[in-house]
Structure formats: C-alpha cells, structure tokens
Amino acid sequence: MFGLLGPVQAFVDGVAVPVAGPRSQALLAALLLERDGVLPVDRLIDLVWGDEAPASARVQVQNRVAGLRRLLRDVDSDAGGLIQTQGSGYRLRLPADRGQLDVDVFEQQVREAERHAVSGSDETAVKLLGDALSLWRGPALDGLESPAIAAAAQRLNERRTTVRLRWAEMEIKLGRAVEVVGELAELSAQDPWHEKLAGQLMTALYLSDRRRDALRVFDQVRQRLADELGLDPGPELSCLRDRILRNDPVLATAIATAVAPAVVEPRGAPTVPRQLPGAFAVLAGRVEQLRRLDALLSPDGDPARAAVAVIEGPAGIGKTTLAVHWANRVVEHFGDGQFYVNLRGFSPDRAPMSAAEAVRGLLESLQVPAQRIPDGFDARIGMYRSLLADKRALIVLDNARDVAQVRPLLPGTSRCVTVVTSRDRLFGLVVTDAVHLLSLGVLSAAEAHELFTRRVGPDRVTAEPEAAQMIMTRCAGLPLALAVVAARVAAHPEFPLSVLADELCGSPGGLDSLRGADPASDVRTVFSWSYARVGAPAASLFRLLGLHPGPDIGVAAAASLAGTDERVARRLLAELADVNLVTEHLAGRYTLHDLLRAYAVEQAHAIDDAAHRRAAVHRMLDHYLRTAHAAAVLRDPHRMDPNSLATAAPDVSPESLADGDRALAWLTVEQPVLLAAVAMAARAGFDTHAWQLAWTITQFLNRQGRWDDLIAIQHVALAAARRSDDRAGQAHAHRGLAVAHLGRGGLEQARGHYRSALDLFGALGDHASQGYAHLGINIAYDREGRLDDALRHARHALDLFRTAGNPADVAKALNGIGWLSAQIGDERTAVTYCREALAIHLETGDRWGAAHTWDSLGYAEHRLGNHAAAVDCYEHALDLFRQTGESFYTATATAHLGDARHAHGDTDGARRAWHEALKILDRLGHPDAVEVRAKLDRPA
C-alpha cells in the first residue's frame, strides 16, 4: 500500500519502506497521482524539478525509477513490477480495486459514510468519517516542494478540511457539540477566512452554552474581513449570528441542518444538464486526436477517474468542432450531466469570462438555487466539486484564455472528463494537472479535400478538380475558411468552381491579427468573398453587428441597430445566415464567430464613418434601455425611476411586451446582453445610458439573486456617472450597490452605500429617493436585530414620502413602521399603521405593497392572540404574492399562515401550509427552510 496523506510512504505487507530523498519521493508521488496512466519522462521531469531541472534530469529519472523498483522488490518480489515502462514513459500499476492507495481508501470510506448518513445511520456515518480521517498522518505530500506536487497537495488538504467539517457537523447533530469545539477551534485558527468553518464553531459553542464565545467568533471574522478586504461576512454566517443573538428557540432543534452538508444535492427529481451544442455536420480527419480523446475513457467506455484534455491551436482551426463532435459521440457514458461553457477567452469585444462567473453558471446548471450559492470564490469551487463527486459528467470549457481561468473549474477527484479548447497551450495546466495536450494544426491536403468534398458534393469536385484544388489551397487547410467557402459553393450550384476560385484568389490578403505563423493568413479573403455576395443593406447590418456587445442578438434589437423595422431586419439576418456570416443558434437569435466579429468591426471602421457607427450604437443602447424600462414597469408598476430616460435616438423601436410574464421572459433571455450593454455604454461615452440601464435592471437581478453581476454593473454605472458629474446617476448607482450588498447579507456595506445615496439625493432635493434610502437602511438594521435604529429610519422615510406626496411610497413606510412595532411588542400601534397602509395600497392598486402589508398585519394580529384574524390576513397576503409570482414571499406568507393555523388549533392545516412553504424554500435553497422543517419535526 502507498501513502500520500502525509509524507510519501510505501508499505508492503504492512511494513513501511523508506523512500529516501525528496526527488525520489516526488517521483513516486507523481506516479501515484497519475496511477494507471502513462507519464512521459519529460513530464516527470517537470513534475519533480519544475524550472530547476538539471541537464542530467532524464538520466536521473531512469536511475530513480530503477531505485524505486529495487526498493519495492527487496521487500516483496511482486512489488517491484508495479512500475512499468511504456513507450517513453512510466506507469505505476495498481490493482483494480483501488485499495492500495490511502487516498482511494479515504474517499471510499467518505462515500460509504455519506450513504449511511442518507439512510439515517448517523452513528455509523460518524465512525466511518473518523476512520477515514485517521488515515491522515499529516499534511498531504508533506515535505515536497515541487510546484506541481504542491498544487495536488493543496487539493487533497482542502478535501480533508471538508471531511473534517462534515464529521463535526454530524457530531453536533448527535448532540456532542462539546466534543468538537477543540477540533473546530484548531481548524479555524489554521484557516481564519473560512466562513463555513466559523459557522460550525459558532454553532458548537452556542450548543455548549458558550453563547458569548460564539458571538465573539463572529465579531473576529467580521473585523478581519472589514480590516483586510473591506467586506462583510456572508448572509449565512450573519443569519446564524442573528439567531444566536435572539436565542432563537428553533435553533437548538434545527441545528442538525443549520450548516450545509459537505455534499449539496438539489432536492426533488433533478434534471440532468445536457448543454452540449449539436454535433457539427462535418468533421474531416482528426483521427489521431479522436483516438487520444477516446483514451480518456476506460476499456468499458466509462471515465475511470478525473481526466482533462486540452485542445490547442490557432483561431479557426476547428478546436470547438472537434471537442463538440467527440463529446456528442460519447455522451451516453456521462449520464450525470454534460456541461458546456464558452469562456470567451479571445472574444474581440467582450471580456473573458472569469472563473467566478463560470463556476456560478455551472452551479446554476447543477440546480443550486441562487440563494444557496456562496459568496466566496473558494466556497463556490468547493460546492461545485462536491456536487460532482462520484458523478460521471462531461465538462467542455470552450475558448479558454489562460490557466487561471480553467484550473478552478476542474472537478478534482471525481469521475469526470473535462475537455478544454484554447488558442493558448495552457502549459502551466499541462505541467501541473495531469492534462493530455492535443495540438491541432491545419488539415492535410487529403483532409481538406475530404472536408470540402463532403460539403459541396463529389460531383462538383470531380468536374473541376483544378479549380477545387485552387480553392482548397487558398484556404490553407483552415477548417473555418473551408467551411465558409464550401457553404457559398453549395448554395450556388449554378456558379462554376473556376469562377469562384478566380474571385477568391484575386482578393487581398488575410486578417492582420492572423498574420505570421498562424496558417489563417487568407481568412480575410474568405470572409470578404462571402461578404461581397450579400446586398448592401445586409452588408451594412453585418458591419453594425460587429459593434454589438454580444453574445447574441434578437431580431428586434438588430432592427434598432440598423434603424429599420423587424420585417426587414429578419430578411437581412436570413441573408447573412445563408452565407454563414451569422449563425441562428436559437430561433430568432443570431451570433457571430469571433473571427467574423473581428472582420465585421474591421469593415465597419473602414467603410462607415464615426458618426454613423455612433448613431448605430446609440440606437442599440436606446433599444435595450427603453425595452428594459418597459419590462421593469410591467413587473413593478410602482417602482421609483429617474425623472426622464436618456435622450432617445430616432428610428428605435422598443419591443412590445404584453404583460409581466412576457417582461420577465424578455429580461431573462436578454440578461447577458444587458450586462454587456452597460459596460459598452460606458466605454462608448454614453454615460447616462450606462447608469440608467444598470438601475433599470437592478430589481430584476436582485430578485434573481445575481448580486455579483449587480455589483459589477453598478460599479461601472458609478464610474460613468462620476465621469459625467451626474449626481443623480451616482445616487442611483450607490442605491443599486446597496441593494446588491443587502441581498448578499453585507449589511455594513449596504448601509454605507445607502448613506452615500442619501447625501446625493438630499443635495438634489429628491425627497422620495431619500425616503427609499432610509427604508433600505431600516431593512439592514432590522436584519441585524437593531430594531430601534430600524424604526428611526422607517419614520424618516415616512416623513420624506409625505413631503414628496406619493401615496404609494407613504404606504410602504407605514407598513415598515407597523412591522417593526409588532416586533418590539407594540402590536396595537402596528395594527393601526398597517391598516392605514393597506387602505392606501388598495386605493392605488399596489398588489405588491398590499401583499407585504397583509403579511405584517397578520403578524401583529397573531401576536395579539387574534388567530382567526391572523389566518385571514395571511391568506390575503398569500393570494397576492402568488399573483406576483414571487416564490420567496409566497413561501414566507405560507409559513406564517401555518403558524397562525397552529395557534388557532388547526394542526392539520398548519402542517399542510408548512409542507408547502418548505417545498418552496428547499427549491430556493433558503436558510429559512431550517425553521420550517423544525416545526414539522415537532410532535403534533
């Protein structure tokens, strides 16, 4: 048996075999980490020595392998044969049962523990977790300094921490909180930034009757985050602290589920992610690359363990085509999901997707609700890898820019296969992460002939072989160029190939960005040839599409971009699609390949003057701003907006949205475009559009739980407003940032931005917006349990709203005061305020405000002991929340209804309501599910 969970060791029949020297230990560790896989000597050198390899490294590898064989053979004659020579590399063969490496035994015991935990055998699960942790003899791979080995050690040590937390969680669940305090305190000292760990320690201390110490842990975390990062603790930790402050009686009975388990599974029957694009119709050649990709699977066709392949090559070489073709070919082996992410590494006009953005999207694909996705990047990665543990999943990471973008997205020790495409070799990944590198070059003459023939038909090639050869030669073996030319040829059977070949060969050279060693030197010629075949209106639209921020565009937006109507735009887009200049990847939505986008931009700057281009961008931004504003008003008719939108451009036709459902559907589809449009508006100098569009979609993003995106665009908006000295824009951007931080649980940051907004709105004399800033501060204080401060700001809001004279706003403040009054025990005052608010809401037709006020009134009546009246109030609130389609508030009103029914003696009705609320909260992944579940667990 071999050991990596501590210093590298080998055991034969239980006897420890000392492996002398860090280089030999690193060599053995590398072979064990890649067990049953072949490691070339060059890669072993990189793994063992890194950048400090001596000239004799190759000989040293051979000598050290021989030494390891002798060492093992001296103890057991069979053990020396474990290290085999294969080709130009070495393979360490382990028995198929994977029980000869402590890492495998550890993972096997953890999986077995989780199975027992799911079945309710908690004591057995705890014992198995303890047995698994006892295998560790210290930090993984202790004493080895190679950067590549250190990266593997870090992953193993992070896994150990996750399992230790799971063990502690189950001990707490079994009522042994006192026993785990010391272990958790030691772990917390080692990793003071780990919020989940801090939460477990707080929980254990609280259940050990050490409430003050539990609160001290929170204060230490908060102070450290504020001093060193300028951040607040996340919402889950803040929520736990609030419940400890209140001595929440439910916390003790619900503590078993208060801390998220190490492996988070979506509830209900999950939908298996199937995100692969359709396989491309034609793939020529690439036989060797397909064979090497097939080798990622074990002989029975299944992934034996985590495997990663990087397909690298220049633009247009067919990397995505190969990856998607192979992925579709083996899809049946990955029954737990197939994921596809375009990382936009080399997009000409969009920033590369960050690893944080990518992992959030992957978590959403795994059906993790927005509210359950952690704020911290490391926590997100941990959740992502936990969800994929033991899963057979295929991940395609397309168009990667660099190693930093990719490495966090690798699933780790699970039985997954990841295929990465990039124009970069990602050498750092290849060296340190056991990655298989596939380099793509241009197609051979035979492969180019096969591709072209299959696209245009053998008869035409046979009829004009010389012309066909001229075309293929001019395309230089570049698959993208061949595909574009072949599409044009196939679309015009009446044109002789010789005419097309003469046109192609008579055009100027290729895109400047692809000159030099890149084989795509004539791709501009290919594009210009297709571009010249469309009419002037279609060509003009194509050039303008290069100015669009992407990732795709709908027909209506294209019409505004071109200054025409939808009927004409649809015809022009179809004309462009016919010659492969755009792709209709979804019904009515079009996208451009990165190279085509670069060509479109180049043509726009060559042909259209700056005023023409700016007018098109103005129309496009107007289209998105005005349609988004119409959608936002349909979703919330009583929302507060700037007095006037940015100056409108002529020839803009905002989309017509029939109702709130259509508005939500439009916002959902256009979300990535709207985010990109904010950044583009700022870059192009349309500062008012930038901050107004950001503010317009704030409520949508907030309700979707997309607080990272909201923070990003509001920072762009704030910079744009400052650049143009627009105080109203700055105020709205601060308010948008406050909304995002409030959603994430960053209460201090939220208050800071609300106060900045308050000062700016005050200078502008905008009483209503000042009132909303006070309401926001009131909510932050309410969530922190500082009810007197919250009430003070709610009263400020009421005074300001009355001065502004908008009854709907006055009603919101009245409801806020009523809610807080009930919480501090002044229920009769609460009823008075809530009934006054309710009358206004009903008069103004504000269903959203009325729903919240019925809920507050129900709470006050419940506290007064008027349980029948409380039931009636909650039923009114529930009916209105259901009409608005807001899941979270529907759940809270349903839970409150259950409380009132229970107090009224209707036990069955209470349990039905709690079950319904729990179902929604579980789907959302909201921490309030803990309290509702505890109510259902109580004896009837």
End-to-end CA distance of the chain: 54
The predicted model gives 517-538 an average pLDDT of 69
pLDDT greater than 60 at residue 258? no
Residue 633, pLDDT score? 92
The predicted model gives 520-526 an average pLDDT of 57
CB 133 within 8 A of CB 163: yes
**What would the pLDDT profile of 167-197 be if each residue is shown by its tens digit?**
888 888 888 888 899 889 988 888 887 888 8
Residue with the bigger pLDDT between 629 and 255: it is 629
CB atoms within 10 A of CB 388: 25
Lowest mean pLDDT among 76-80, 751-755, 840-844: 76-80
Q: Name the CA radius of gyration of the chain, rounded.
A: 31
CB 405 within 8 A of CB 354: yes
Residue 414, pLDDT score? 61
The predicted model gives 202-214 an average pLDDT of 89
What CA–CA distance (Å, rounded) separates 735 from 714? 9
Residue 655, pLDDT score? 93
**What would the pLDDT profile of 681-738 be if each residue is shown by its tens digit?**
999 999 999 999 999 999 999 887 788 899 999 999 999 999 999 999 999 999 999 9
The predicted model gives 574-584 an average pLDDT of 84
pLDDT band at 832 (very low <50, low <70, confident <90, very high): very high
> In this structure, which long-range contacts are made by residues 874-878, counting pairs with CB atoms below 8 Å and at least 24 apart in sequence?
874/900, 876/850, 876/851, 877/851, 877/852
What CA–CA distance (Å, rounded) separates 370 from 367? 9
The predicted model gives 798-825 an average pLDDT of 94
**What would the pLDDT profile of 722-771 be if each residue is shown by its tens digit?**
999 999 999 999 999 999 998 877 889 999 999 999 999 999 999 999 99
pLDDT over 70 percentage in the chain: 89
Mean pLDDT of the chain: 85
Q: Pairing relation of β-strands 83-86 and 394-400?
A: unpaired
pLDDT band at 267 (very low <50, low <70, confident <90, very high): very low
pTM check: above 0.75: no
What CA–CA distance (Å, rounded) separates 282 from 305? 30
Residue 252, pLDDT score? 57
pLDDT band at 81 (very low <50, low <70, confident <90, very high): low
Residue 509, pLDDT score? 43
Residue 812, pLDDT score? 95
Residue with the bigger pLDDT between 643 and 566: it is 566
745 is written with which tokens? 């649980």
pLDDT band at 526 (very low <50, low <70, confident <90, very high): low
CB 435 within 8 A of CB 442: no
pLDDT greater than 50 at residue 306? yes
pLDDT greater than 70 at residue 268? no
Query: CA of 563: how far to CAs of 25, 249, 275, 612, in Å?
Result: 68, 63, 35, 11
pLDDT over 90 percentage in the chain: 39
Q: Helices marked H in 726-786 — which ranges?
A: 727-744, 747-764, 767-783
Residue with the bigger pLDDT between 21 and 506: it is 21
The predicted model gives 766-794 an average pLDDT of 93
Residue with the bigger pLDDT between 748 and 503: it is 748
pLDDT band at 521 (very low <50, low <70, confident <90, very high): very low
Lowest mean pLDDT among 146-150, 544-548, 623-627: 146-150
Range ranked top by mean pLDDT from 32-36, 375-379, 525-529, 845-849: 845-849
pLDDT greater than 60 at residue 299? no
Residue 879, pLDDT score? 93
Residue 511, pLDDT score? 47
Residue 55, pLDDT score? 85
Residue with the bigger pLDDT between 163 and 304: it is 163
Classify residue 18 as exposed, middle or buried by CB count within 10 Å of its CB (0-12, 13-18, 19+): exposed
CB 302 within 8 A of CB 257: no
Residue 266, pLDDT score? 39
CB 330 within 8 A of CB 416: no
Place of tokens 């066909």: 468
CB 316 within 8 A of CB 519: no
Residue 303, pLDDT score? 56
The predicted model gives 244-272 an average pLDDT of 52
One DSSP character per residue, 211-255 reads HHHHHHHHHHHHHHHHHHHS-PPPHHHHHHHHHHHTT-HHHHHHG
What CA–CA distance (Å, rounded) separates 837 from 297? 65
Beta partners for 418?
308, 395
What CA–CA distance (Å, rounded) separates 768 from 757? 12
pLDDT greater than 60 at residue 290? yes
Place of tokens 């075949």: 533
Collect all residues with Cβ–Cβ distance below 8 Å to 421 and sequence separation of at least 6: 310, 311, 312, 319, 320, 322, 323, 396, 397, 398, 399, 400
- Residue 12 in 3-state DSSP? strand
One DSSP character per residue, 423-436 reads SS--HHHHHHTTEE
Collect all residues with Cβ–Cβ distance below 8 Å to 288 and sequence separation of at least 6: none
Residue with the bigger pLDDT between 106 and 614: it is 614
Range ranked top by mean pLDDT from 210-224, 350-364, 661-675: 661-675
